Amino acid sequence: MKIKFNKISTKIRVIGALLIFLIGGVIGTTAYLAQQNTKDALLINIVGKQRMLTQEISKTIFYAQYSGIYDFLETNKASDEFIEGFNTLKNGNKVRGIFIVSTEEISNQLDKVDNLWRNFNKHIQDYKQMATSSVENENEMKKIVDFIYVNNTILLENVDELVTMFTNHSEDKIKFIKTFQIFAGILLFIIFIYSFSQLRSIESNVDSFMQYSKMLADNEDISSLTPIPLEAKSESEILEVSGTINCFINKINAAVGHSNEALLQSQKASSKLEELTDEFDTILDELKDRSLASKHLNNSEDIVIASTEELINSTKRLANLKKELDKLIINCQELK
């Protein structure tokens, strides 16, 4: 089915639908942006905390090694928190509303950090076991501490890189959403301009129609009514109403023209018959003494008089039609 875009109702529906769609899109993206900012900030906070936890674990091991106090409560707490945070980054957390960031770059970096952490954590657990053992293994413990010292930096650098990746991902998402909002704002402005121009066009066409209708109602002479001028680009509703009025105007003009012509012809015929009647009267005066001729002429005169009466009646009826048309003008004026 072909949609007619020159209809007022269609224009209003299309403009309204576009405005609703764009406004809804802008509101939706704004709400999504606010939600994503919250989730991304939470993820970045978790990643940043991972970096701090690796430092905390290394610090407690170094302290235990050089102080001889083997209290691993803080180490265990930091390790458990690191594992929980890393699982959230890698697998998401439905309870907290955190979903997996599915980019290849971040996924590869998570796998790399995961491998580094497993090796790092293994040495931490070995150190804790040796520290609580009764067997003398000072050299092995020192080797583990040296390993932690070296690999802590590597793990820290990779966690820093992971923080940068999550931060860049969040910023790219924000840039995309802001670009969409700018584009939607420009499109919304264009639609506002288009809507304004269409409303002005509709207003102009309706105003022209109303002005012509008022002029038509004020016109006392209906003998020569002019049809409403129509533009091809006008709205279909205006064209339809104007066409209906123009059809009515054309019918009135045709009726007035026919009545005036018939009235004129009837008046001419009546005038001619009156002249013939006068001539017959003259002839009758001359033929008074001729009874036979008088008889035939009287019959002819009766026929002429009857014809004259019929024409006079026709003239009266046409005159009544003229009066009815005049009454139409008066009624239009009273309705103003």
Over residues 12-33, the mean pLDDT reads: 78
Alpha-carbon Rg for the chain, nearest whole angstrom, is: 52
Contact indicator for 325, 259 with CB cutoff of 8 Å: yes
Q: Give me the residue label for tokens 């020159």.
A: 6
Q: Length of the chain, please?
A: 336
Predicted pLDDT of residue 39 = 77
Predicted pLDDT of residue 119 = 93
Residue 1 pLDDT > 50: no
Three-state DSSP at 133 gives coil
| Residue 326 or 27, more confident | 27
Cα dihedral across residues 145, 151, 157, 162: positive or negative: negative
Over residues 202-209, the mean pLDDT reads: 70
Q: Residue 21: phi, psi to the nearest 5?
A: -65, -45
* Ramachandran bin of 92, using left for φ above 0, alpha for ψ from -120 to 50, beta for the remaining angles: left
Helices 138-218, 236-286: axis angle to 10 degrees equals: 10
> In Å, what is the CA distance from 175 to each residue of 100, 107, 138, 179?
20, 22, 55, 6
Percent of the chain with pLDDT over 90: 17
Residue 2 pLDDT > 50: no
**Which amino acid does the sequence have at 260?**
N
Nearest-CA neighbor of 100 among 157, 169, 50?
169
Q: How far apart are CA 191 and CA 19, in angstroms?
A: 7
HSE value, Cβ hemisphere, 13 Å, CA-based, for 57: 31
Contact indicator for 50, 159 with CB cutoff of 8 Å: yes
End-to-end CA distance of the chain: 42
Q: Give me the residue label for tokens 């018939």.
A: 262
Structural domains for the chain = 8-201 (1.20.120.1730), 236-335 (no CATH)
Over residues 284-301, the pLDDT tens digits come to 566 555 554 455 556 555
Over residues 147-199, the pLDDT tens digits come to 999 999 999 999 999 989 988 888 888 888 788 778 878 888 888 888 778 77
Contact indicator for 78, 57 with CB cutoff of 8 Å: yes
Q: How many CB atoms are closer than 10 A to CB 220?
A: 9
Q: How far apart are CA 307 and CA 166, in angstroms?
A: 110
Over residues 267-288, the pLDDT tens digits come to 666 666 666 666 656 655 665 5
Tokens of 203: 């207003």
Q: What value does the mean pLDDT of the chain take?
A: 75
Predicted pLDDT of residue 321 = 66
Over residues 215-237, the mean pLDDT reads: 61
Predicted pLDDT of residue 40 = 77
Predicted pLDDT of residue 80 = 93
Contact indicator for 329, 256 with CB cutoff of 8 Å: no
Predicted pLDDT of residue 188 = 81
**Which amino acid does the sequence have at 269?**
A
Over residues 115-144, the mean pLDDT reads: 87
DSSP lists the bridge partners of residue 98 as 93
Residue 112 pLDDT > 90: yes
HSE value, Cβ hemisphere, 13 Å, CA-based, for 298: 8
Q: How far apart are CA 248 and CA 259, in angstroms?
A: 16
Over residues 27-52, the mean pLDDT reads: 80
